[in-house]
Structures are given as C-alpha cells and as structure tokens.
Amino acid sequence: MKLILPMSLIATTLAIAPVRFDREKVFRVKPQDEKQADIIKDLAKANELDFWYPSATHHVAANMTVDFRVSEKESQTIQSALDQNNMHYEILIHDLQEEIEKQFDVKEDIPGRHSYAKYNNWEKIVAWTEKMMDKHPEMVSRIKIGSTVENNPLYVLKIGEKNEKRKAIFMDCGIHAREWVSPAFCQWFVYQATKTYGRNKIMTKLLDRMNFYILPVFNVDGYIWSWTKNRMWRKNRSKNQNSKCIGTDLNRNFNASWNSISDTKNPCAENYRGSAPESEKETKAVTDFIRSHLNEIKVYITFHSYSQMLLFPYGYTSKLPPNHDVLAKVAKIGTDALSTRYETRYIYGPIKSTIYPTSGSSLDWAYDLGIKYTFAFELRDKGKYGFLLPESQIKPTCRETMLAVKFIAKYILKHTS
C-alpha cells in the first residue's frame, strides 16, 4: 500500500537532517537523600537532560535510580558537578551514536521476508498487516480505527472469530516512539498466535474462546520520526499552539486525572499532556474504539520499555483499586510465567508506588472506564541498553513476554463472565 504524503510535508521532512548523538552519554545516578535529588533537578534546569528513567525531572527522589542522556558538550559539566557533590554515578553509555548503530546486530534471514528478530520500520509493519490478513483470512482482520495528525492510518488487527462477539483483550504497543522493542512484541504476538493455533494447547483454547485486538503501533508519526530523524523521539508529532515545540506525550493525554500533575503543562517537556484530555487524534481514535467495544473488552494491556516491571492502577493516586488483590495475583502469575524461560526478573505493583506518579495514562483511563484488568509491561532491559535494546534480544524478550500474556489471558478467561 502506498502512503501519499502532502508535498509540503515531504519538503519539510527532507529539509531536516537526522539528529546524530556522537559521544553523548547516558548517566545513572542514585541520589542518597533529598539534597542530592535536588542537585539533579538543578542540573536539569541549567542543562538539557533527556530523562530516560524516570520520564521527567519532577519524579526524581532520594534512593531512586535516575538515568538521563546528556550531550557531549555538557557531559563534563555534569560529571564535575556529580563528583563535587560526592554523588554515586556510573556511565551506562559512553557514545550514544555508537550504541544506536550497534543495536542492529541481527542479519536478515531472507531479504524481503518480514523478520521477527529485527526492528521493522512503519512501511514494513503496514505490509506485514496485509500479509497477516492474506495468510490467515479466517483468523485475522484489519480495522482502521482512525488517522494520525500526519494522516497515517491507525490499524488494529483483530485475531479470533471475525464476526462473533465474545470476551476480548485489547493490547497496544509503541505509544512512546523510541521504545522500539514494544512494537516488535505486538508483531511477535500476532505471528505466534496465528502460527501456534491448533498446535499449542493454551493458545488454541484462548483463540477458541476469546478475541484479541492488537494495535501494533499507537504513535505512528513519532515512530516514523524515530526511524528517519531522531532515534530518541518520544512524543507524537502534533503542533502545539503558541509554542515551537512539537508533540504530546500520548500516555499523558487520557482523561484520567489529566490535570493533576503540573509539570506536564509545558509543551517542550517530554511528558507534555496536550491541550486537553484526548486532544490528540491517536488518543481519540483508541478511546473511541475501546468505548465502542466495552462490552467485549475484559483486559487492557499496554507495552512500554524499559525497566522490567508489570504495572497496574493507579498512577495518579496512592489509593488502591477495589480489586487490587486480584490484580496483584494476576501480575504475580504473569511475572512468574515470564521468568521460567530465561530467569528474567520483573517486579510488579501499582504504577505510583512501583515506578512513579503519572497522570493521564491509558492504563488508569481504561480501568476507570470499567475494564477491571489493566496492565502495563515495561519490557527489557534494566538500563544497560535502555531504549536501544539490541535486536539479538528481541526474540528472548518476546518469548518470555508471550508466556506472561498467555497466562494472564488464561486467568481472565476462567475468572470473568
């Protein structure tokens, strides 16, 4: 399928050279007390720090592991400040550009064939959605649920009975553009579900009784930008009124305590919430689709990276959801299953106490809408590569995550009406 772009957009895109990250560094700092946490916050005000974990300055707290990217020019200043204040730190990545190039460490098996061991750009993913429909016409259908701000289609793949309405799980990947292992998992899930149906006992049982709605790339425009112009891009590509800064963090744009964290108000921030709840076309398309299928959807799962966590509500309050014990039980089932393959350890718990407070997240929104099983995976790794997980880790990551999803789905099938 050919994607036709307006000439003005093509001209603008061609005029911008891809960003390079030569000799940029990623630091990991563990502030021992609030004074040291404040030093990091002060450094962020005076320097351009790209926070990898947590996602923004205001989340930084004592005894928290903090990962951030810094330019070559500013790295010496940062290092000196950390040394002067006797702060414990390590440099995770010494040359970011080098790591970006090294992440493509798997050779294509057969040129032209869709590879599940490699990262695939948007063009390849679109072609793959068509291939899946053609190969499994009885099991896979493609639904266009909307378009992005740059007029790219938002496709959901439905796996299961085409016309029958039954219990369903909605899964989305790639809400943050730079988290490439996330869309890789959604592709792997569709591939394995269709390939193992009739062969694998659990998958066969699940697909005989449930449907899966898979959104392989939520933030299509941002994903394209991360491939073509800026590997570290996170937000979507919408223009912001009265600001030169582009993009909204789609995972702060949902109507779930949207207004509660003041630091998400800045359009130039990586976690900018947007001008209003559901202001973004991508968010609106997903919320409209889920609302219209609410009688079917029993589970919502969203996939992110990195940090090896399985999260559930809430992010915007310390209050535990009414079915907290059940969510914790299901999360334990999922993380236990995941660890059986390669002994990869995940922690689990409510967003706010396990990772950091968030407002406007898709997870909390889906829960408050009435979907009582909502989870967010933070996939591999724990920071050695961060967002630049090498391709050689795609398959292991997908295999172990597949086990977790299957066991979660199996529990839901048994325990929901």
Flag whether pLDDT at 9 surpasses 60: no
> Which domains, ranges and CATH numbers included, belong to the chain?
25-102 (3.30.70.340), 122-416 (3.40.630.10)
pLDDT band at 15 (very low <50, low <70, confident <90, very high): low
pLDDT band at 10 (very low <50, low <70, confident <90, very high): very low
Question: Which of the listed ranges 11-25, 80-94, 153-167, 258-272 does the model predict with the highest average pLDDT?
Answer: 80-94
Query: Region 397-401: what's the mean pLDDT?
Result: 98
Instruction: Write out pLDDT tens, residues 131-187.
Output: 999 999 999 999 999 999 999 999 999 999 876 779 999 999 999 999 999 999 999
Instruction: Write out pLDDT tens, residues 35-69.
Output: 999 999 999 999 999 999 999 888 999 999 999 99
Dihedral of alpha carbons 386, 388, 393, 395, sign: positive
Flag whether pLDDT at 219 surpasses 50: yes
Instruction: Write out pLDDT tens, residues 120-143.
Output: 999 999 999 999 999 999 999 999
Average pLDDT, the chain: 94
Measured distance CA(315)–CA(266) in Å, rounded: 20
Dihedral of alpha carbons 52, 54, 55, 59, sign: negative
Flag whether pLDDT at 12 surpasses 90: no
Flag whether pLDDT at 7 surpasses 70: no
Instruction: Write out pLDDT tens, residues 363-389.
Output: 999 999 999 999 999 999 999 999 999
Predicted structure pTM score = 0.94
How buried is 15 (Cβ within 10 angstroms: 0-12 exposed, 13-18 middle, 19+ buried)?
exposed
Active-site pick, 24, 150, 179, 378: 378
* Backbone φ and ψ of 367, nearest 5°: -65, -50
pLDDT of residue 18: 94
Instruction: Write out pLDDT tens, residues 280-297.
Output: 999 999 999 999 999 999
Query: Region 216-224: what's the mean pLDDT?
Result: 98
Residue 138 appears among annotated catalytic residues? no
Whether residue 314 is preceded by a cis peptide bond, meaning omega within 30 degrees of 0, is: yes
